[in-house]
A and B are shown apart, each in its own frame.
Chain A
Amino acid sequence: MSAAPTSATTASDVRKSASQKSAKRDRSALGSRLVQAAFVIALVGLWYIGTTYGQISPILLPNPVRVFDELVDVLATLEFVSDLRITLFELAVAFSISATSGVVLGYLISRSQYSIRVFEPLFAGIYSVPIILFLPLYILFFGLGPASKIALGVTTSFFPIILNTIAGFGYVERVYVLSARSMGASDYQLFRWVLLPAAFPIILTGLRIGFTVALLSILGSETIASLAGLGHRIVHLAEGMDTARMFAYIAFAVAIALTLNTVTSSLEARARRR
């Protein structure tokens, strides 16, 4: 509950010269890196010591060395390929369906303020319901295979994409539209040079959010009920009490998810800069 250090630094910073300040910032950046490294090392160290010398059951928490060996084994034998391919296939299909339909429908709705006012609260309302609730229904409709995962992925990612598309196209400054029109822009020119550049960054954010939630819901539905895929593999290993290999697959799945998220974020940042 001490606010003093924060205020002390801000107050004293004013008096310090610029060079001193930057030197201090470098040192504190280094310090926080050290704390981060120490935190991770301590965590892994505790894990290692606890599982090697402690009384922790290897079924509950396997030794990190064993997990690493299993991970190497999973990567070396290319065992992950079939599961990863199914998960990525579901993700690709779901995302392309929701991105296309969300952007097109969002654009059509955004053409008039009236339809925005009719549809936007509707979509926002449905978006606030946890879509995962539809999973039992989709399993009933589409079975245990990839179709039910794709359907859930489409449903979860459709709403952020369409809402952002409506927000992007619907709230372009009227002055820009009017001035382009008064300078004689055609419908296509208006779309290509005014509406699209204005809406693009917001749509991109929607697409990134949609991609992330599609990946999450696909992994989730694979975990809950499926026949194949990364989520299914993790559950399969958990039920077989093969915890070390399960940890390896969890690490692999988390790495895949983080990589995909990083790639989409950097794509978004790059497209935004242009």
Chain B
Amino acid sequence: MTSTAYPTQPRSAVPLGRRFKRWILARPGVARLGVIALLFIAWEIAARFFVDKIFLSPPSLVFTQINTVFETTGVPNALRVSAYEIVVAFVMSVAIGLAVGLAVGLHRFSQKSFMPIILLLYGTPQITILPLFILYFGIGPASKIAFGVSHGIFPIIVTVVAGVQNIKPILLTSAKSMGASRWHIFRWVIFPHMIPSFFAGMRLGMTGVLLGVLLAELYVSTAGIGYYTTLFTQSFNPTKLLGLISVLAAMAILLNEIVRRAELHYSRWRSD
């Protein structure tokens, strides 16, 4: 932006400071890395000199000691259990959400009848019924999966219905007039039209599933990561706690990114 305002001089005549300024102004990505580095340095200084060791560990320690997190008995298994819960909950949310979304969205009448109910349920804070999930499904993985599904399913239903609904009537009419059967209309008109919003829904659904599973894990857990976050919190072991949280955050970012890439990939065909 301001880089054009500089007078054009021979390169060597420009002072080093200004050259650096010009260089950094052209590269916001580098400046962003700089901001991140500053945050880490602030964290490091705070943890080393100002905060008690039982509350906060410096990042240098957290990331060099991250292997001790994995070496803690049970943690690798807990991570596997959590990943399994997230994947199962996500697959179930997508399958059920797609089926319900199509059943509700394909007919005008069912859509007008059931969409308000679905939106109302989507708007309720499901966290208040978390104890019920534990009561019905126990404290094992089943309750985490069920709670994850309860968070992931609604955005998928809503986006599938929106995707089916926004279809241009002219496309359906022309397909019909060219003699397409119901199945053909679904396969070649409605389905491709639905794909971009379906993938947008999958991304929101993944966010919901992650939230639901992690909430249920943190609430009560016997072998999952919730157990270990509680353990590290109560034994005042911030190094391992921060390490575990970083691993989980990385897992969440990875899963989100996979779904986001898929969304970008499958909505390419649509130009608008």
Contact = CB atoms under 8 A, between A and B. Distances in A.
Nearest to B185: A3
A31 B109 contact: yes
Contacts of A231: 127-128
Interface in B44-67: 55-56
A9 B35 CA distance: 57
Contacts of B108: 5-6, 9, 28
Interface string B1-13: 1100000000000
A20 interface: no
Interface string A122-141: 10010011101111110111
A257 B124 contact: yes
B131, B183, B232 interface centre (most CB from chain A within 10 Å):
B131
Contact of A1 (B186, B218, B232): B186
Q: In the complex, which range does the number of interface residues on chain B fall in?
A: 35 or more
A5 B31 CA distance: 56
Interface residues of A, number: 62
Nearest to A261: B123
B116 interface: yes
Given A7-B185, A11-B176, A254-B125, A36 B116 contact: yes
A136 B218 contact: yes
B215 A224 contact: yes
A114 B117 contact: no
The DSSP consensus for interface residues of chain B is helix
B208 to A, nearest CB: 10
A4 interface: yes
B256 A234 contact: no
A224 B218 contact: yes
Interface stretch (A44-52, A92-100, A194-202, A213-221): A213-221
Contact of A36 (B113, B130, B183): B113
Contacts of B131: 223, 234-235, 237-239, 246
A253 to B, nearest CB: 5
B146 to A, nearest CB: 14
B214 to A, nearest CB: 5
Interface in B103-118: 106-109, 112-114, 116-117
Given A137-B245, A223-B131, A28 B116 contact: no
A113 B176 contact: no
Q: Which of A59, A128, A216 has the most CB of B within 10 A?
A: A128
B1 A220 contact: no
Nearest to A59: B135
A139 B231 CA distance: 12
B264 interface: no
A129 B248 CA distance: 9
B107 A6 contact: yes
B95 interface: no
A128 B113 CA distance: 34
Interface string B165-183: 0000100110110000011
Contact of B109 (A32, A112, A141): A32
B117 A36 contact: yes
B241 to A, nearest CB: 6
Contacts of A130: 207, 210-211, 214, 249, 252
B36 interface: yes
A6 B172 contact: yes
Contact of A10 (B113, B173, B242): B173
B169 A223 contact: no
A139 to B, nearest CB: 6
A141 B55 CA distance: 6
Contacts of B215: 132, 220, 223-224
B229 to A, nearest CB: 4
B258 interface: no
Given A128-B252, A246-B132, 10 more contacts: A7-B175, A32-B113, A134-B245, A140-B233, A223-B127, A223-B128, A235-B131, A238-B131, A253-B125, A254-B125
24 contacts: A1-B102, A1-B182, A4-B185, A7-B173, A7-B175, A7-B185, A11-B176, A32-B112, A60-B135, A118-B28, A118-B35, A122-B36, A128-B256, A137-B245, A140-B55, A140-B236, A141-B56, A219-B125, A223-B215, A237-B131, A253-B128, A257-B124, A258-B120, A261-B123
